[in-house]
């Protein structure tokens, strides 16, 4: 359109110039310089028109982006101004318009259903969002686990192999048979006609390698590894501990094949007593939920359980029966051969000179695996303190004496082996 207007202006000016020349008696051909000037003006006006058109397109695009951004901001403002919703669970659907729900504080209500919600999504147990004023069902929420449960899954597996666990060859074999073999080769158990073990309970004094053995299992298998400490399942509010146990096993089933490691299980697995406080009763309810998950109606399939404790004497008998923890594996204090293996593993990573391993093994009788590691670390610290880059025999002997002195000062000179005999 702009181009057409420019052409008309140029033609009109050319026509007017020719008319003036005709009145003066000048030939119609006109002056060539005027024509060139008009052509130059035409080209400059044409370029200017194209520039204006490009600027108009740019401004229109920018305006469109600004409108979209304003629309998003309006939506965010609307969401921020909207009242908070209450999270609850659906218990029963009465009809197309009414349902029974349980709010987050445990109160049960009969409420109305938003007609825009797909009825097929409304099933008992579904997480829902309720209007704060009317408590009507606004939307259906996706299933979610407690942050402590979802955070228990180990994304990065520890860099620990079975060779790093010294002095426990027989125990490692038993754990692999009960945990790894059913996950890797389930057909072997089907051929024989037996059910694979569900779980393994590791018992033994502190520092003997129970947790380290579980880390090695996590590192060497392709299964998802979920670690939870027993004390994390002991909650103060009624029903919270049982809910976390249900979510823990639900997460394990969804991530299957998977392994659940319950460290310090005695925190929730202690024997039940008749005279108990309200807190003890909540722990007992958590234990009963754990027992139900271990051998309930829902099969665990590709989910295996490893539990660890240094107080097997206080565990509830129901937890120890076959069908729940099919294998109870004792992780004892390392014997002479075990101490030699553990010390070799640690000293191989260090700069040493003239170390008599046999003499050190004799002086460390009764030491746990953790204390043997502490001995090697302490000997290295002694060498560093004296400005040396290599550990000597005297450094290790001095470190052994320090560890023994620390054990005696802590009142732990007597071994708790009698608990595991």
**What is the C-alpha separation between 163 and 150, in angstroms, rounded?**
30
pTM: 0.64
Q: What is the DSSP string of 180-196?
A: IHHHH-HHHHHHHT-PP
- DSSP state letter for 418: G
Q: Range of 362's domain?
A: 336-420
Higher pLDDT, 43 or 297: 43
Per-residue pLDDT for 47 more than 50? yes
Higher pLDDT, 374 or 256: 374
Mean pLDDT to the nearest integer, 176-193: 86
Q: Which of 304, 330, 356 is the last residue of a domain?
A: 330
Helix axes 240-254, 278-295, angle to 10 degrees: 20
Q: Are 181 and 204 in a shared domain? A: yes
Q: Are 179 and 304 in a shared domain? A: yes
User: Structure tokens of 263?
Assistant: 């460290």
Is there a domain that residue 145 lies in? no
Helix axes 336-347, 369-385, angle to 10 degrees: 40
User: Structure tokens of 319?
Assistant: 């937890």
Q: Are 35 and 98 in a shared domain? A: no
Backbone angles phi and psi of 227, in degrees to 5 = -110, 130
Per-residue pLDDT for 24 more than 60? no
The partner residues of 261 in beta bridges, in order of sequence, read 227, 306
Q: Are 383 and 415 in a shared domain? A: yes
**What is the C-alpha separation between 232 and 238, in angstroms, rounded?**
14
User: Structure tokens of 94?
Assistant: 């009465």
Is there a contact between 327 and 178 (Cβ–Cβ < 8 Å)?
yes
- Among residues 131, 86, 124, 123, which one has the least CA distance to residue 105? 86
Question: Angle 143-148-151 (CA atoms, 0-180°, nearest 5)?
Answer: 85
Q: What is the mean pLDDT of the chain?
A: 80
User: Structure tokens of 214?
Assistant: 């579980």
**What is the C-alpha separation between 130 and 207, in angstroms, rounded?**
50
- DSSP state letter for 365: T
What pLDDT, in 10s, does the model give residues 392-405?
A: 888 888 998 888 88
Per-residue pLDDT for 134 more than 70? yes
**What is the C-alpha separation between 322 and 301, in angstroms, rounded?**
17
What pLDDT, on the 0 to 100 scale, is given for residue 8? Answer: 62
Q: Are 315 and 230 in a shared domain? A: yes
Q: Are 194 and 250 in a shared domain? A: yes
Q: Are 7 and 66 in a shared domain? A: yes
What pLDDT, in 10s, does the model give residues 89-117?
A: 888 888 888 889 888 777 888 888 888 88
Query: For the chain, what is the domain count?
Result: 4
Q: Is the peptide bond before 192 cis (omega within 30 degrees of 0)?
A: no
* Lowest-pLDDT range of 69-73, 150-154, 260-264: 150-154
**What is the C-alpha separation between 367 and 116, in angstroms, rounded?**
67
How do strand 327-330 and strand 199-203 relate by DSSP bridges?
A: parallel
């Amino acid at each position: 359109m702009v181009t057409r207007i420019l052409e008309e202006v140029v033609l009109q000016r050319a026509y007017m110039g020719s008319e003036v020349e005709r009145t003066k008696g000048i030939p119609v051909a006109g002056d060539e310089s005027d024509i060139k000037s008009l052509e130059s003006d035409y080209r400059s006006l044409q370029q200017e028109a194209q520039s204006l058109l490009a600027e108009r397109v740019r401004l229109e695009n920018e305006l469109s982006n600004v409108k979209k951004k304003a629309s998003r901001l309006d939506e965010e403002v609307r969401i921020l101004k909207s009242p908070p919703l209450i999270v609850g669970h659906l218990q029963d659907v009465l009809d197309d318009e009414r349902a029974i729900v349980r709010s987050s504080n445990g109160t049960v209500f009969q409420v109305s259903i938003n007609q825009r919600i797909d009825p097929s999504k409304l099933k008992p147990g579904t997480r829902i969002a309720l209007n704060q004023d009317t408590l009507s069902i606004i939307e259906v929420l996706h299933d979610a686990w407690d942050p402590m449960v979802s955070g228990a899954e180990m994304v990065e597996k520890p860099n620990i192999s079975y060779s790093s666990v010294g002095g426990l060859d027989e125990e490692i074999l038993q754990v692999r048979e009960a945990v790894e073999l059913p996950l890797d080769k389930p057909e072997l158990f089907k051929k024989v006609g037996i059910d694979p073990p569900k779980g393994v309970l590791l018992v033994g004094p502190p520092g003997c390698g129970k947790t380290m053995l579980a880390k090695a299992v996590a590192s060497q298998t392709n299964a998802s590894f979920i670690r939870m400490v027993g004390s994390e399942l002991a909650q103060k509010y009624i029903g919270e501990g049982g809910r976390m146990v249900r979510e823990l096993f639900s997460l394990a089933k969804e991530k299957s094949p998977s392994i659940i490691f319950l460290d310090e299980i005695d925190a929730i697995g202690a024997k039940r007593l008749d005279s108990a406080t309200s807190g003890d009763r909540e722990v007992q309810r958590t234990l009963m939920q754990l027992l139900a998950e271990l051998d309930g109606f829902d099969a665990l399939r590709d989910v295996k359980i490893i539990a660890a404790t240094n107080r097997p004497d206080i565990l509830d008998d129901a937890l120890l029966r076959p069908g729940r923890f099919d294998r109870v594996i004792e992780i004892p204090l390392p014997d002479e051969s075990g101490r030699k293996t553990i010390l070799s593993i640690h000293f191989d990573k260090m700069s040493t000179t003239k170390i008599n391993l046999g003499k050190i093994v004799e002086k460390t009788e009764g030491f746990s695996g953790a204390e043997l590691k502490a001995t090697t670390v302490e000997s290295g610290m002694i060498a560093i303190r004296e400005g040396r880059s290599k550990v000597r025999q005297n450094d290790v002997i001095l470190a052994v004496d320090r560890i023994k002195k620390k054990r005696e000062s802590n009142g732990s000179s007597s071994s708790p082996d009698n608990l595991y005999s």
